[in-house]
Amino acid sequence: DGGITQSPKYLFRKEGQNVTLSCEQNLNHDAMYWYRQDPGQGLRLIYYSQIVNDFQKGDIAEGYSVSREKKESFPLTVTSAQKNPTAFYLCASSAGQGSSEQFFGPGTRLTVL
């Protein structure tokens, strides 16, 4: 059963701590993405990767870091430098070159206390 897995569904952290959000896909997709959604706003692109071992900053990359060591995995680290980390984080993937249709995971709700 192919899809995108994000874990955990809900995550709580203390201010000043780094936290890593997991994203795994078994769709054999080349490209993966991280978005952030805040109340009343659309999705904003944080980072994306079109191929293993390569990634690019999106529109709001400051305070975040990623890695793409495996095709199936694209973890996102929310660092203490992110001023307002509490948000709903969504991971997505797409088949790759020429394919704009993205498939999304269920999301992780991060709350920083």
Partner 1 sequence: DQQVKQNSPSLSVQEGRISILNCDYTNSMFDYFLWYKKYPAEGPTFLISISSIKDKNEDGRFTVFLNKSAKHLSLHIVPSQPGDSAVYFCAATPGGTSYGKLTFGQGTILTVHP
Cα–Cα distance, 46 to 21 (Å, whole number): 13
Residue 27 phi, psi (nearest 5):
-95, 0
Residues 2-21 that bind partner 1 (CB under 8 A): 4, 6, 9
Of 77, 49, 51, nearest to 62 by C-alpha is 77
Residues 33-72 that bind partner 1 (CB under 8 A): 33, 35, 40-45, 48, 50, 58
Q: Which is nearer to partner 1, 13 or 109 (CB)?
A: 109
AA identity, residue 18: N
104 counts as binding partner 1 under rule CB under 8 A: yes
Total residues in contact with partner 1, by rule CB under 8 A? 31
